[in-house]
Structure 1
């Protein structure tokens, strides 16, 4: 028998168009390729060829073919495997028959395929269009600019002078594809900061929009309110220059200036300070999405609510994105398919209100339900509010829903009430009890019913991870604890959010974590934050460690009343490398005091203070000179306000001249406290942030809580948005004598609404407001009303409300004239010896009705207050009880106080 030894050598064999590799076999020292090995890959093969010559199979010495059939291998060449000619033709014939049969089958389906192809392509085109435009058009696309004031235009003949003008930007409503049918957005326009940089980025684009503006501003030779495309309601909200046809010439001359500036920039750019001007006229490319997304950075922050011209983003039937006014939002959004969408919604148990444009979803939301609902949203189902109540939903379906809501729908408000999120195999789960989310253009604002729990933070983090459009995250500091690791991790990792807005900021550790992350925001706005100087010192430390911050806004509703903290902040800002714009509110400036000296230095030597609000100060000539220098010479200070500050007539005239020559874009001087004027706009906004559904639910709760002229709404996690409804139901309609709103989340804004309802009130006797976030601002509103306009309230509870000495001074002024209040609770606040002094001296000399004063757990009250309190107790005839337990009194101080009642009948003191 022949001995065989398998080798690892390979023979390449080609059959028709197929090349295979087959292992050879060694037979008695001859490397061979067996036919049967080839046939295992190509069964029809009967012969092997090389160079078109058929190879003979090996034979023995007798001339017989060796078994198995084999040839000597040629491993460095390719051998061809062939089949009989007749068999090859038969196989080919069968193959062609199969092809023919398949073609006939395909022909039967061709008509169906062709019928569906066009519709499929249209759908794909719509989806692609929508996805592109939603990403690119996160801001209205159409806008133009005008000089803000009338000038002698002939005297403005250089680019340098043109860039010193105050310009305002106006958006256009995209209600039509025809330029002559557009109209100006119902908004008074936005001041442009850094005009030279703005022109560098948008100069080419503005050349086109100036021509569009000329067209729409002169339809038929008249201005826009007389255009048939604009209703009287919209016309009343348009900028003032559009409302009189006599302004037509002036507007055209302003457009001439803009056009002249754009045209001459190319010739004169060498004379302009900013080298970026060269880019303004040289590129002739369309405006890109990234430029649109940065547009807000050039606008003054008079648009904190992200109104963007009071325009709203909608998605049309064909997948396009438009920005339109509310009137056209309704007209375009409510198309013929709305009834179909509503029927689909109702088929899954949903409810829709045509009046409020609100959808309510309850029960088990399946993947099929979510897919159907998301599909209607992306096709143009126009709703404003989505309520998810007592729902259960898979986490993947929730991600899909959030993605569509944020990035591809018209929804502006989401209300989440007891939503169960199912996870893997529907076994593990978590429940979000309550969350309210506001989506307005590029801003996402969130509020919780109570402090953000772990489950709530998970849901919010899931929402943020789906965001691709919103650039601003707006929340309340009392909602976010430091242990919200899911949320903290999400905020540190996401790159979409460039702006952080925090109201009632408390948790410096949380902010510090964000500011020191790689994806820290470039803009931060903090409101109602600085009752305690320790909070501001903490902010200084966090800002000092950050390298990305460009814009810091701590101007609105803040109380930087600590001189040392103000100095520390300005010192940190002067050393900061990236901050360009700071909005600042400073209190209690006096000639030559430390905070005035530091502020003057910053105004003269730095350029980061762009907005400055000064309250309760004495304005020196040195400070005025510094303000003028910052506005006229450095061109950094553009926004200036004074509240309850001392300015002489000459100073006011000089400041008004700054505004007249446009060195300042905004100047406001008021003799009132800031709280009384700054709160008005915010209150108007609040009513729009609560849905019809929430109002109805709260009214029902109030009705259930109403017992014998009393209403208790404690521990309901109510926020400022609810106060209008509460006031209406409890004070106006039910005329309650007892109202308790303790352990909620009311701030000075909500209290301003409540205080307004107390004017000339004749029924309310007891008001419990303990454990809220009222602060000094809220006390200001209450004290003003109780000073002159209320004659029934006897008990006022302000326990644990972050009230400082400033609030104590407001209450002291109220007690000078109030002749009704009997019990006043001020425990667990931040009142110090100075606040006690003011209260005690007022009660001692001017109040004759107060019987109980509670100052318990004010840790800043020390033995310094002993003499003030002793004088008050000895001389006041009405006070019967004083609570001072858990303050920072020494044992000696306590003994001094306890001896006083011995000489005064019926007086009780608790220390």
Structure 2
């Protein structure tokens, strides 16, 4: 629909309609259309106010000129004429054309006065055309007029009107230029003086000026158009640059976000890897301080055998602080709430841990803050306000801890310990390896039984580091209410929750019961180890639900046992992927230890292990039951090849499978491989050298395995093995260039070994570094030859089983003769002597040999499972250094309480005793309570 704008000449009622034009979705009226309808229009007004020309963003008039559309409004048109009538004959008042007055003092608002009566004389001596005085403003030739013609007033008025009409026909811009020009002012003066010739000449100049100004206006409009177009282009370019800059900023922000997310992801992955490593490597606390045993007698360090006590430290710090907690408990390292542990064999202890202990003592002495861990001044290590009244030893240390630290530092510096360890190394978890930590317990005179060392709790920080903290900081950070709620939930199941190490063991007998347990487990924060036993025919969905739960928790050590092997009919659709959820648990980055000891026979067959591109580099510990499994070799090879970070691999198998299985995995073996049958060790093989791998790619039988990889065998159980000459020859040949054998259980139950086999066996024992030796040979000659070759410098556990009493003397003679070759005290810690005879007992000669043997050792465990009289028992105990004994087992028969009391009295100086077992003895409740008060478990049943 067309839009019209209403106009009327001011002072009239005649309405004119002008068609509007649409520009950028707006309606406007072009000024030239208004001039076409109203010649001489000066401006347009509405309600007495002038309507402005439309302008662009730079406040320049839009070209072509235009005004905005006023729908339904009548705009008044004002002309530039000062007098006369409009087209309808109405009289109008003309607006001023010049802002200045003329030279005669007459206002230029009325340049051509109609009241003047002066005559105008026209000079006709020139050829310049003149205005015809009678012709209404027409040009006439100069020849038609006299040289001095006098212009009448009426003619003068007509001339003035003609000039004014021409001026009105000019555009407003031209009008302004004309009115300001000197020519126009001169022409006005000439007309007033009657100088027609001068006026006509000036009129010609005025017309030329008008043409020039019109051309200039066109050029200006064209230039303005170019300028406007250029401005539009510049504006567009600026906008495009702004958009480009905005896009670049957005890309930078996206890059920053991507880098931040990558950094966060790397941090999370590193946290998972760190947790994976530390959960496996740090099974006990790692920060501890060593001080003199007697806090009031520092001079005892000068004695030949100084005594020390070890105290564990709480590894609190930023990670134990709770955001919303109002507790005032300080979060800096301090001594744990424990009386500490006496150190056995201090010399050997400091050989192993001297540099580490010295570094920690120096760190504690001077104080330090590393990686969010604050070590305060020494005086703050003992927090008596948080200690129980039972921790008397710790309270006594408060005033004497600094002298004690200085004494130990001085003692260690004199022993020239290795000072290569640094504080950064300790705080970065590189000071002690897991094997060193696990060995630490062997030096401690531990009365805690199965309790955690130092009453500390294992936690995992947000960045994956394992820390051991006291109960106060444990509860501060892990919400005791949540832990208590989980403990209550565990009561409904056949399970246990060891909160100190975060280990859960549970038996679930139905999917419903499993769901209840999963719901409780998902809310627990401090569960790091999970052993779950399933007692129904689990389906794919059951395993999938188990996977979802485990991956929502902090579990890093996972063990699964299934006791039903029937495949449900409902699982037919998931036939080929039934165990994929178990594989998914195994490969998840948070799982560092995976054990499936009674693996289902179709485990590999009903999973897509071979076709999947899984990576098991998260695993540090893996245990799989291979007995009866289908397609063992290719799947196991695939699994081991993708578990490049394994530190321990346990495979349940039988002797006949070992060569085949080992040949499949040897090229990918990077850790010790332990072969077991049920719970009995068969063989442990250390990673072979590159030469061994290249020399043999496959194995055919056990003898071949011994010959090729014998030097890499760390433990072997020769019970049940066909110890014929070929096998033993191969074993002896395999270790001739060096042996790493540490454990060696061996026996010959059904037949006597040949002389060559015994010789090879003795050679194997002599060339090895056996720490655990079990001798269960049938013939006396066999035992004597092997016992004489025992490597006492390494041996720590010795187990001898005798079948006939007549052979005891020869065996004991061999032991004593073997020990006589050792110049220093034997560090044997575990000794078990078993004899099946039930009559006659031990002879005096055998008793003497036994006493001679045990008196040369440093036993912690003594087991005499043979018939002995009370006198013989007391004689043997008297010959032992009982201060180191922790466990004693004696076969006493039906000894009554008086004889039992005699044995207990003989052990009164055994301050480290934990258990006493007097097999088949008659023990009173009073005696049980008496031992219990000393922290000793007394029983008459041999476990």
Smaller-chain TM-score bracket = 0.3 to 0.5
TM-score (norm: length of structure 2): 0.42
Q: TM-score, normalised by structure 1?
A: 0.43
Work out which of the two has the higher radius of gyration on C-alpha atoms and give 1 or 2.
Answer: 2
